[in-house]
Structure formats: C-alpha cells, structure tokens
Amino acid sequence: MTEVLFVAAAKPQFGVLADSVRKFNALGARVHLAATFHLESSAEEVAALELAGLHQLPRSIAHRSQALRRKARTAPLGMRVWMQSKRDTWLRDRARRADVMVALDPGAVYTVWRLAQYNRGAAAVFGLAPGMKAVEGLAAQGGSVQRRSVLPPLDAVARDVRRSVDGLPAAVMRTATARPVMRSTVGARLWRTAVTAPGVPTRVRAATSRYVAEGMQWAGRTSGAAIALADAASKIPDLALKAQLLDEGVMKEIAKGLSPRHLGRAVAAQLAHGDREFAAGRVEAAAGALDRALFLGFHRVLHIDQLSSPLAEDAEAFVAPLYRSGAMRALSRPRGRRTPHRKAPSDRPLRLLVTTSANDNFLRHVLDHFGGHPGVELRFLDLAASKHLKRIAWAGRRMLVDRLSDGTSDYQEEVERLFRPYLDWADTVFLDWSVGPAGMLTTIDPGDTRVVVRLHSYEAFTRWPHMTDFSRIDDLVFVAPHVRDLAVSLVPQLRGDGAPRFHIVDNAMDLSGFARPKPAEARFNLGLVGMSQVAKDPRWAVDVLERVRRHDERYRLILVGGDMDPKTSMATREYRREFEKVLAPLEESGAVVRLGPTDDVPSRLPEIGTIISSSVREGCHVGLMEGAASAALPVVRDWPFYAGKPNSARTLYPEGWVVGSPDEAAKRILEATATEETWRDAGKLAAEHALSAWDWPVVRKHFEKLFLEDR
C-alpha cells in the first residue's frame, strides 16, 4: 500500500481533488490530508473525498512565543504555514510514513519541502499531476522509486526564506539550516541563494551566512560552507567584515585538509583591509590584517602537508599579489645597516655565536669542530632555552607592527635590550634556520657584526622569509641550488641590490661511520629512511616495491623512522590513513617491514640494499645521502616540486641516480640488482661519491671558508 500525504494551506477545488483522490485510490494508494484552512467550514465537501485520513493543522501560533508571533506577522505565507505546523505530531508521523508528499498549493510548498528533509526516501512534489506520476512510478517499480523534486523553481521557495531571515532568533535559524536541510542539494542551494539576495542588511547577511555555513559543515558540505561565506562576502562592502568571512571560509576547508578554492580572494581581502588601515595610520589593525594574509597564504596545509603546492607551479606569480599591497611593500622595504660588518680579527680568535631555536639537528659537527678550533672562540645560544628570547623570536605580529611603524614600537626596544649584548660580543653570528628568529634578528641594526643565516628548505614554504629584512644579513647559506632558486623567486629583497651574498654549503654529516658490510640478502631489500612528513610520500616507494615484486617476490621494503603525526593537520591524517590502508596487506605478507624510529641509523643500513628518495620535495635528502654512503644503490625520484627546472634532483645527484617514474625506478633496481656483483659495484660507486662530496672532512672546509676566509 502506497502512503500519500496531501498538505494544503488554502481551500482546494474540491471537485478536482475528489476526482484525483479516486484515481490515487485506484492505484492502491491511501491518501491523507493535512490542512491549515478551516476543515469544519467545508465538512460536506471533505467528507466526499474518500480520504484514508484527515487532520486539522494549527491555524495560528497564538500559543507560541512572543518573538515568533512578531516574526509571523511579517513572514510570507509559506513560512507561516511551516511555523504553525512543524510541531504537529500527527503531521510529523504521517510525513515519516509517507511514500509521496504533495503540496496542493504554493502556501504548502515550503512545509512539504521541510518535511521531505526528514523522509529522504519519499517523493516531494507540487501539484496533483506530479503526485499521480510519483504514485504510478511506485506501482510500476514495486513500491520504491528514487525521490525526485518537482517543487516549484528554487527562487519561488527562496523568496520566502530571504524575506524571513532578518530577525529570526538564533534557535530558529539553526533549525532552518540544520543538517538534514543542508544535506539536501535543494536546501543547500536555496540557502546559498538566500545569502546573496539583494537588499539584505550587511549585519543580517553576515549572520545568515555563518548559520548557513554552520549547517552545511554539520551536513558534511565543507566546501559548500566556504562557498556560502564567500558568496556573502562578495555582497558586503565593509572590508574588515568581507575579509573576516572569506578567512572563515578558507579556514573551514583548511581544517578538513582541503586546498581552499577562495584562498586568493581571502588573501586579497586581508591585504585590501590592511592597506586601508595602514593608509589611515592604524598600524595595529594593518599589522593584524597583514599577519592573517601571510598566515593564510603560507599555511602548512597548502604547501607542506600536501603532495603539491602553488609554489611548485609558479612561485613568483603566487606572491605577486602579496607584493602589490602597500602595507606589504612598507614591510619589505630594505632598511640596511649603518656600517658594514668588520673583518674577522687577525690578532685574536674569531668570536663566533651559533644560534638557533630548539632545532640544532644540523649543528653538532659544526659546534664540535669550531668549539675546538684554535682560531675561534665559540658560543652557542638556543633561543628556546630562554623564555624571554623565545617570546621575541617568534612574535610575528609584533614584528609586523614594528616594521609598519618604522621601528618605533616597543618590540624593537625589547629586542635591543635582550639581543644586543650577544651582537656586541660576536664578530660573526651564524643563525640556523631562516624562520622567526631571522625576522627578530633583522629588526635591529646589527652594527658591525657579521650576520650569516642558513635557509634549509622548509622555510621557503613559510611566511618567515617575507618578514625578514635580508638587507641586514651579510651572507645567506643554502643547502642546495634549487632551494636558492625557489627562495629568490619568492622574496623580492633577494633579487635587489641590497641582497646578501649567497653560498651553497652541504649539511654537516659524518658519513664514514656508515661504511659497514652488507649481507648478500640485502640486495633484495629496498629502504626508506624517514617518513614523518607527507612530503616524503612513502606511497611512491610502495608503488616501486609492487613493481619489482612482479618480477621477484624476494624484494621487500624496509621503513626506518617514525610515522606521520595525525595531529599535525587533517591533510596529514588523511594521507596516513590511506597509506596505512595500502600498507596493511603488505606488512601481513612480509613484503614491508617497519623498524620504527631509531637514534642509530648506521646500524639499520647494512640490511638495506637500495636506498630510495620518494619525496615530492627535499633540500638535500640526508637519509638518501647516508644510504648512499653505506653502499646502498641510490634511487631518487625526480622531486616533482623541482622537476624540469634549471636546478633539481637531477643536478644535485650523479647521472643515473634520478628516475622520472616508478617504472623507471623499478627498471633501475632490477638491472642494478640482477646479480650480487652488479649490485655491489653500483653500491661501491655510490659510496665513493657520497664520501668525496658530502662527508664532513670535505664540507668542513666550506664552513671554514665561510667563517674564516677574510682573516
């Protein structure tokens, strides 16, 4: 038996309705009528309808709250009918059971549409003819048809909604934008249309868009939530509010690990707001807007926790809008230094201050060597070890205020007080990592102290280089030419006359300890050292493994290092989830072995016969270099971030190491490991190159030249 629910807000033409009900009954349907018009006044006509059920819906909301009654007085008919009827238990019960729901007049359309959100299996239609078609379809398909909406055009329903938004209590708005509504394509589109309706006051438009975004997000439509906020922002003239709504939309997508579709608009809105505030002399507000623009534009989900980045496509074009901003140009204006740095003393040891903030992973050999060097007096400063220095080293907003106020803020005074004593003592400051501390250090004039900063790779994908005054840095050290190229394309100061001198110096690594005998069975073991970031893309290594195992199932993949931290971002969590899904059957079969994190990488490498770099980007891949030094066969993916550019993995490593695809990787492995002899010969050549190019005795000379050349 097919259950049909009619809803009427006005008296129908009873003759037509009676004829239609008979046809519905002939098809095996049971028809129920719910009406807000006065049924008793038409008792005779209603009795002739042969209905299975009849119900009088509330005809007013006199018993409801004063706020709702006040709203109902100005609400359109469709909304009033729903306000009156939505609490009716008979109506809700019949709607849940209905196979077909029919709005008999325009005033009932909105109520039927709302009821349909709670019974997604029912057909919701407007008019008797569409209702008849729906019942016929049910009969033809054995009682089940896909629900189709034959409601009137969207704008007919939207008019009621738009005109009813202003002044609705928050509870009512949340009900109207609840999860079932927003899961409906019609509902989501309706509300997106409503937030752009002409003539809506700015305050109401903003509030409505936030309710709509909240409902869409609850319904799993994250991008729809962002679109609703962006659509509303496009109709709002107030720059601060426009920027705020676009910001909220972008952050909703970022929080879900998505690359936001309106990122450019959100950054542009913050910049426009910042420029206006800066022009008006409101430096604090301008700094706040600029801070958000940089935060959004260089969010880690866009550039670090994904397998690609806008910077990989065209870095200079990506930052071009940023540097069209007046506030940003003021921020990045080179301030220079009053006097050049003094030459290293010839009558006493060089006073060398090596500093970083917490991350000293690449400094151990530098500190050990120069700590015992007769021509150097060394001090090491970890900024993170002092709460006062740590606070100023990462105070991004305060740095921006200081730059925009032309150095008149209390931040510069604090940096002078806390860091000037170190500058006064040192002949040379070597700062590792070009992040927050580099911005802090270049806030003040370094006097005649030489400033050397090292930029690894990670920093180029952050906002910090854009908050650093490179005209106050004498020497900028890169770990590889392709990183230098990226940084120069991103930061206009590095292309100007006041740019620092550039150096390419490899990371300090003691590779001699990696030369240990490998057993014969290591020939079939592929290895990946380090996979704690999405950029390492270990799935690529698994792809290579599967290809070589099609030829010989003795091949295995050994994973050394900790897993990705799912708390980093949703994008990281999603990558790890997919990776674990791929890995599970391979681990179970023994094709993949996870060794976990270790402080003793040299002891793990003897069992690895092929070392893989599967990353999408690297500075210089230390794990790969260490593996090569252990006489493992190097297989390096042509890092996609840099592939095809003048400097890339192909220019960093010897010819033959770098491959363009998993197929090429598998071919290289199968050919080089075809026999034990060919495998050991390839490993020997790799170790010879690694030790001659990257071992500490070689790289040490470059550091000595960097610090002591002008003595």
Within a domain: 192: no
Within a domain: 178: no
Q: Look-up: residue for tokens 């040379």? A: 428
Q: Residue 306 carries which DSSP code? A: S
Q: Are residues 521 and 485 in the same domain?
A: no
Q: Which residues pair with 126 in a beta bridge?
A: 103
Within a domain: 163: no
Within a domain: 162: no
What are 22-47's pLDDT values in tens digits?
A: 999 988 899 999 999 988 888 888 88
What are 337-353's pLDDT values in tens digits?
A: 999 999 999 899 999 99
Phi, psi (deg, nearest 5) at residue 609: -95, -25
Last residue of a domain, one of 272, 302, 331: 331
Within a domain: 635: yes
What are 91-133's pLDDT values in tens digits?
A: 999 999 999 999 998 888 889 988 887 888 888 888 899 899 9
Q: Are residues 519 and 489 in the same domain?
A: no
Is the pLDDT reported for residue 336 higher than 90?
A: yes
Residue 528, helix vs strand vs coil: strand
Rounded to the nearest angstrom, the gap between the alpha carbon of residue 585 and the centroid of all alpha carbons in its chain is: 29
Q: Are residues 525 and 673 in the same domain?
A: yes
Residue 50, helix vs strand vs coil: coil
Strand 100-103 relative to strand 123-126: parallel, antiparallel, unpaired?
A: parallel
Query: Exposure of 495 by Cβ count < 10 A (0-12 exposed, 13-18 middle, 19+ buried)?
Result: exposed
CA distance 534 to 526: 20
Total structural domains in the chain? Answer: 4
What are 486-536's pLDDT values in tens digits?
A: 999 999 999 988 899 999 999 999 999 999 999 999 999 999 999 999 999
Q: How many angstroms separate the Cα of 452 from the Cα of each of 502, 617, 706? A: 10, 25, 9
What are 662-688's pLDDT values in tens digits?
A: 999 999 999 999 999 999 999 999 999
Is the pLDDT reported for residue 213 higher than 60?
A: yes
Other CB atoms within 10 Å distance of the CB of residue 505:
15
Start-to-end CA distance of the chain, whole Å, equals: 99
Q: Which residues contact 381 (CB under 8 A, 6 or more apart)?
A: 353, 354, 355, 389, 422
Q: Are residues 661 and 600 in the same domain?
A: yes
Count of residues in the chain: 711
Per-residue pLDDT averaged across 297-301, rounded?
Answer: 95
Degrees to nearest 5, angle at CA 360 with 509 and 599: 60
Q: How many angstroms separate the Cα of 139 from the Cα of each of 169, 227, 536? A: 44, 40, 57
Q: Are residues 478 and 539 in the same domain?
A: no
Q: Residue 350 carries which DSSP code? A: E
**Structural element, H or E, at residue 277:** helix 263-279
Residue predicted with more confidence, 610 or 204: 610
Asked whether the beta carbons of 31 and 59 are under 8 A apart, the reply is no
**Structural element, H or E, at residue 452:** strand 450-455
Q: Are residues 461 and 538 in the same domain?
A: no
CA distance 450 to 344: 9
Asked whether the beta carbons of 377 and 349 are under 8 A apart, the reply is yes
Q: Look-up: residue for tokens 């909304």? A: 79
Domain with 312, as residue range(s), is: 241-331
By C-alpha distance, which of 275, 249, 244 is closest to 263?
249
Q: Which residues pair with 353 in a beta bridge?
A: 379, 429
Q: What CATH number should be reported for the domain holding residue 92? A: 3.40.50
Residue predicted with more confidence, 164 or 193: 193
Q: What CATH number should be reported for the domain holding residue 651? A: 3.40.50.2000
Q: Look-up: residue for tokens 């009954």? A: 25
Look at residue 582 in the predicted model and tell me its pLDDT. Answer: 95
Per-residue pLDDT averaged across 246-255, rounded?
Answer: 94
Within a domain: 479: yes
Last residue of a domain, one of 478, 504, 530: 504
CA distance 266 to 702: 44
Look at residue 190 in the predicted model and tell me its pLDDT. Answer: 55
Look at residue 164 in the predicted model and tell me its pLDDT. Answer: 47
CA distance 444 to 416: 7
Phi, psi (deg, nearest 5) at residue 666: -60, -40
Q: Are residues 565 and 683 in the same domain?
A: yes
Is the pLDDT reported for residue 403 higher than 60?
A: yes
CA distance 329 to 322: 9
Look at residue 142 in the predicted model and tell me its pLDDT. Answer: 67
Q: Are residues 524 and 656 in the same domain?
A: yes
Look at residue 476 in the predicted model and tell me its pLDDT. Answer: 98
By C-alpha distance, which of 408, 353, 357 is closest to 378?
353
Q: Are residues 357 and 324 in the same domain?
A: no
What are 522-579's pLDDT values in tens digits?
A: 999 999 999 999 999 999 999 999 999 999 999 999 999 999 999 899 899 999 999 9
Spell out where 229-319 has E strands. Answer: none
Q: Are residues 65 and 97 in the same domain?
A: yes
CA distance 55 to 297: 58
By C-alpha distance, which of 619, 421, 607 is closest to 514?
607
Q: Which residues contact 198 (CB under 8 A, 6 or more apart)?
A: none
Asked whether the beta carbons of 483 and 512 are under 8 A apart, the reply is no
CA distance 289 to 241: 11
Last residue of a domain, one of 331, 362, 390: 331
Within a domain: 188: no
Give the largest CA-CA distance in the chain: 117
Asked whether the beta carbons of 434 and 360 are under 8 A apart, the reply is no
Q: Look-up: residue for tokens 């004498």? A: 474
Confidence band (pLDDT; 50, 70, 90) for 225?
Answer: confident
Q: Which residues contact 480 (CB under 8 A, 6 or more apart)?
A: 457, 504, 619, 620, 647, 652
Q: Are residues 499 and 520 in the same domain?
A: no
**The residue type at 589:** S
Q: Are residues 524 and 668 in the same domain?
A: yes
By C-alpha distance, which of 57, 141, 143 is closest to 98?
143
Within a domain: 92: yes
Asked whether the beta carbons of 295 and 303 are under 8 A apart, the reply is no
